[in-house]
Amino acid sequence: MRELRALEPDFWRAPSAHNTQPWTLTYTAQEVAVGWDPDRALPISDPTGRDLRLSLGAFVECCLIVCADAGLDVAFRADPGPLRVGFLHRAPEPYRTPFTTADVRARGVNRGGYHPGRLPAEVADRLTGVHRLPCRDLAGLLRAADLHQFGDPGVTRELRAWLRLTPRHPRYRLDGLTDRALELGAAQALGLRASLALHPVLRRLGLPRVLAAASGGLLDHDGDVLVLVGPVTEQVELGRTLMRHWLTLAGLGHTTHPLSQIIDCDRTREALADRLGVADPLTLLHVARVGRPKAPAARSARVRT
Ligand SMILES: Cc1cc2nc3c(=O)[nH]c(=O)nc-3n(C[C@H](O)[C@H](O)[C@H](O)COP(=O)(O)O)c2cc1C
């Protein structure tokens, strides 16, 4: 199992909310425990651990794909425990996957502009557990969710801790969300830094409205939003599914821009569940706009390279 260590930089290309890279690998001779570092969780913006478990599932899927591509026969056994989701272990046969390490390296979210156009039905049909909606149907919910998010001092404080809005930030090349990943120009990055620093003072003067307005036009175009729905108890497994969906889309020239704020806010999550005819709003696990990006995105940073 020690051969896995050399592959860690590729495992680490997995996506995680706020790019916290919360995963840990603990090696023994027979197996490797997959767990998380509580200092890299998001207790305020992700209080139920939904995004944490999805990110851990995405990480497990990356590990299995990269191991298979390296000729290592490895499988995953779910075994939740304290700060642990399960174990990677030697398997009698390779993990069967159409994806490669090159696919894992090439994937990334894209928060820039998208070409107009809906996702072809035959592509959407390949994405199990996913509902598809026209972007414009969710523009109002996104605005309400952004207002809610930026109106919450705890959530903005936690977001601020993971923002790297200038290359001078000491962790700019390690983790978190950079100005380039967020597609912010120099003036916008400076404005966001200043307004978040002054958030406690400016909140009452309408700062949340100004910040929410910044994403106003995001869904005002001809495109699709995907919503992953599944049992709350299966979040790690569904993180693996999400990773496969993103790799499938990437292979077809599509990228996603997650919009978790819509399901982080009770009111907008309930409204979305209602619109989709889903009985339990907590089963809405991930929301993202999807499409063909107009330009490639900046590569996100990683602790392990
Ligand atoms: C479960 C999950 C939730 C996410 N939620 C958001 C989100 O609400 N907004 C956003 O811009 N990115 C979101 N992301 C994307 C991450 O910020 C992104 O994966 C991370 O910064 C690494 O970048 P990369 O995916 O381009 O490698 C989410 C990712 C995951 C796995």
Residue with the smallest CA separation from ligand 1 atom 1 is 51
**Cα of 22 to ligand 1 centre, how many Å?**
13
Please classify residue 20 by burial: count the beta carbons closer than 10 Å to its beta carbon, then call 0-12 exposed, 13-18 middle and 19+ buried. buried
pLDDT beyond 90 at 202: no
Please give the class, per CATH, of domain 2-106: alpha beta
For a mutational test of ligand 1's pocket, the pick from 13, 19, 45, i.e. the residue with the most ligand atoms closer than 8 A to its C-beta, is: 19
**Cα of 50 to ligand 1 centre, how many Å?**
13
Q: Tokens 């919450």 appear where?
A: 152
**Predicted local confidence at residue 266, as pLDDT:** 98
**Cα of 16 to ligand 1 centre, how many Å?**
5
Please say whether the beta carbons of 56 and 85 come within 8 A: yes
Stretch 216-225: mean pLDDT, rounded? 91
**Predicted local confidence at residue 224, as pLDDT:** 98
Domain coordinates of the chain in residue numbers?
2-106, 121-291
Please say whether the beta carbons of 120 and 89 come within 8 A: no
State the fold for domain 121-291: NADH Oxidase (3.40.109)
- The atom of ligand 1 lying closest to the CA of 14 is 27
**Cα of 110 to ligand 1 centre, how many Å?**
9
C-alpha–C-alpha distance, residues 152 and 102, integer Å: 39
Please say whether the beta carbons of 89 and 77 come within 8 A: yes
SS3 content of the chain, % helix, strand, coil (to 5): 45, 20, 35
**Predicted local confidence at residue 197, as pLDDT:** 87
C-alpha–C-alpha distance, residues 187 and 190, integer Å: 5
Tens digit of pLDDT for each residue in 248-297?
999 999 999 999 999 999 999 999 999 999 999 999 999 999 999 999 99
**Cα of 164 to ligand 1 centre, how many Å?**
15
C-alpha–C-alpha distance, residues 274 and 281, integer Å: 8
**Cα of 191 to ligand 1 centre, how many Å?**
22
- The atom of ligand 1 lying closest to the CA of 16 is 31
For a mutational test of ligand 1's pocket, the pick from 11, 109, 246, i.e. the residue with the most ligand atoms closer than 8 A to its C-beta, is: 109
Residue with the smallest CA separation from ligand 1 atom 3 is 17
pLDDT beyond 80 at 245: yes
Residue with the smallest CA separation from ligand 1 atom 26 is 108
**Predicted local confidence at residue 213, as pLDDT:** 78
**Predicted local confidence at residue 2, as pLDDT:** 79
Q: Is 204 left (phi over 0), alpha (psi -120 to 50) or beta?
A: alpha
Name all residues whose Cβ lies below 6 A of ligand 1: 15-19, 51, 54-55, 58, 108-109, 111, 177, 181, 258-261, 286, 300
**Cα of 210 to ligand 1 centre, how many Å?**
23
Q: What is the mean pLDDT of the chain?
A: 95
**Token reading at 181:** 């990943």
pLDDT beyond 80 at 215: no
Domain 2-106 matches domain 121-291 at the CATH topology level: yes
**Predicted local confidence at residue 211, as pLDDT:** 80
| Mode of pairing for the β-strands spanning 163-164 and 177-178 | parallel
